[in-house]
């Protein structure tokens, strides 16, 4: 199976990059499935229902969120009815929405997507490792799903790497989101699971992790509250990864970085 995984969409420039590139990439790379993290798509904080629908219309199969899941309150009734939009699975019981979605492709193949949120330097949620263990007790790679994808939304690289090794051999891929900087450690772990610590940001990299530089610099230099952070709105780099899995085992054949447009050096994996 051929899969595109996109990192955090940030603001208008990130949304437009995704909306413009996803249809073309689906065609050029014969993509079977697309997952997009969009928790920063609405002015850098949260996701609006109209934006979610536009991404689905452009070809996203599943959208993941993160620690900014509830910044746009109108997403709460939307996520209750739209199962393809998922938030971290380790939110407490009773939180709106779901943390995993089992998608059925037209040819009958099934893809399970789940997101967990880390706890180091993040909100103190339930244990992400235990939450995924409980999910995998119900779903087995190659049995209930031909592909299993895990998005680990976390601050600490150590926690993300531990998460990858914890589920190596039982899922197709573990890829990180949240820090907005693409890492260069795309690899297939010993058990056959594809891994990357962070997919990076889909947004303007002439910025401080997607936000306009002046306000961010003032916060660091003056250590005083200042103007509200706003997304940088220059040309965006689309950042993510191209994943190919084995149809027989569900494990990874290859994972490669993908970067298009904007300031970062372009990398387009071969189709």
Q: Which residues are catalytic?
A: 68
Query: Which backbone phi and psi does 36 adopt, to 5 degrees?
Result: -130, 135
Which strands form 100-104's sheet, in the order they lie side by side?
A: 100-104, 110-117, 147-153, 173-177, 194-196, 187-188
């Amino acid at each position: 199976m051929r899969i595109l995984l996109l990192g955090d969409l940030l603001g208008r420039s990130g949304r437009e990059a995704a909306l413009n590139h996803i249809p073309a990439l689906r065609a050029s790379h014969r993509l079977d499935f697309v997952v997009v993290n969009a928790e920063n798509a609405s002015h850098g904080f949260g996701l609006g229902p109209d934006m979610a629908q536009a991404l689905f219309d452009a070809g996203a199969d599943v959208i993941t969120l993160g620690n900014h899941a509830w910044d746009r309150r109108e997403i709460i009734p939307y996520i209750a009815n739209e199962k393809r939009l998922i938030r971290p699975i380790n939110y407490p019981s009773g939180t709106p929405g779901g943390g995993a979605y089992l998608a059925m492709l037209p040819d009958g193949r099934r893809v399970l997507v789940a997101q967990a949120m880390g706890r180091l330097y993040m909100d103190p949620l339930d244990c992400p490792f235990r939450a995924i263990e409980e999910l995998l007790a119900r779903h087995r790679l190659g049995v209930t799903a031909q592909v299993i994808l895990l998005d680990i939304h976390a601050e600490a690289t150590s926690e993300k790497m531990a998460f990858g090794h914890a589920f190596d051999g039982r899922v197709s891929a573990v890829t990180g989101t949240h820090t907005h900087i693409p890492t260069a450690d795309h690899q297939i772990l010993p058990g056959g699971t594809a891994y990357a610590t962070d997919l990076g940001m889909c947004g303007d990299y002439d910025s401080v992790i997607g936000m306009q530089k002046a306000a961010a610099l003032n916060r660091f230099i003056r250590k005083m509250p200042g103007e509200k952070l706003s997304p940088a709105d220059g040309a965006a780099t689309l950042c993510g990864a191209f994943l190919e899995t084995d149809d027989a085992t569900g494990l990874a054949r290859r994972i490669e970085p993908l970067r298009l447009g904007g300031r970062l050096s372009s990398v387009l994996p071969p189709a």
